[in-house]
Amino acid sequence: MLKSVVGCCKVYISESRNRIALESIERASTLFPLAPIINKFEDVAYNRVGYTLVSEMGVSGPSHLANAVLAMAKAAFDTIDFDVHSGTHPRLGVVDHICFHPLLDASLDQAATTARCLATDMGSNLQVPTYLYGAAHEEGRTLDSIRRVFGYFKPNSSENQWIGGLKSDSLPLKPDRGPSQVTSAKGVAVIGATNWVDNYNIPLLSSDINAVRRIAKRVSGRGGGLPSVQAMALAHAEGVIEVACNLLDPNKVGGERVQEEVESIAREEGISVERGYYTDFSQDQIISSYFKLFQNKI
């Protein structure tokens, strides 16, 4: 049987419109068949793609999972120029965010070790300033604290758009791995290890970004709303703005609860709300898909 010490890695790359780049990234992952891509989520408006990979989680040192993600990151840097990127989702780099999650009998410490190994390789081999968060960071720094230092949540072009790379080659925060200077063509990478996080997006039928930002703020734990929920308003299509949510403890506050809260607050603003959606499979679906992929090989 396959071992039950299994880890999951979610990789978010700032591209969804360049098919050649995406094909190159996915081709790189196939060099590591023991760490397959289980899910892919693309969003053209955000110009962002998310990949979910799963593999056996090692106790120490490099793993199939880390090696696969490193190969994908190299392919991304080789084919994507951050200077010409644009989209309605914030980002800090070509390979914007990577997070490891333990599944089944794997531990958070194992996920953190894998994250740190990858960060070292990203920093030294790919020469990308790399920041650690969650269990991978010695003080448990949070993802949003890093992003706030960089002004991640403030559009750099208009009310709704992020265009081009970072505007300075100096960094406001010392990297945990890699060079202390950043190139605008690559940006920086943020790598972490946490327990499971769900991403749940809710479309609102409105063009009033300020009204939807008020709703997002009231929903988020930071704004006094639902605990363990992070939310931001992002333009998504003509006449549609999404409340994009990170559910940091989905067993306590899940998508249904967030949907109810957004609908309730949106009624006060006179805004219609559509049904939200998850951007990835559930933990159980991911585990099932992974084992099903290998069931004929064992």
pLDDT digits (tens, 9 = 90+) for 122-132: 999 999 999 99
Q: DSSP 3-state helix, strand, coil percentages of the chain (rounded to 5)?
A: 30, 30, 40
Catalytically annotated residue among 89, 97, 101, 236: 89
Q: Using alpha carbons, list the distances in angstroms from residue 143 to 67, 96, 131, 132, 249.
A: 23, 11, 9, 8, 15
Let me know: does 100 contact 65? Beta carbons within 8 Å: yes
Strand residues in 83-239 grouped as ranges (E): 86-87, 95-104, 130-134, 162-163, 189-193, 198-205, 229-237
Q: What is the pLDDT of residue 62?
A: 58
- Indicate the pLDDT class of residue 1, thresholds 50, 70 and 90: very low
Nearest-angstrom CA–CA distance, 196 and 9:
10
How is residue 156 written in tokens? 């750099």
For 198, residues 6+ apart whose C-beta sits below 8 A from its C-beta are 246, 247, 250, 254, 255, 278, 280, 282
Q: Which two tokens stand for residue 181?
A: 């200077």
State pLDDT tens for residues 42-79.
999 999 999 999 999 865 555 899 999 999 999 999 99
The confidence score (pLDDT) of residue 79 equals: 97
Confidence band for 4, pLDDT divided at 50, 70 and 90: confident
Amino acid letter, residue 184: S
Q: Tens of pLDDT along 224-240?
A: 999 999 999 999 999 99
Asked whether the predicted pLDDT for residue 81 surpasses 50, the reply is yes
User: What is the reported pLDDT for 3?
Assistant: 66
Question: Strand 86-87 and strand 189-193: pairing?
Answer: unpaired
What is the pLDDT, as a whole number, of residue 158? 79
Decide if 64 is catalytic: no
User: CB–CB of 225/258 below 8 Å?
Assistant: no
Two tokens, residue 98: 């990577």
Above 90 in pLDDT, residue 156? no
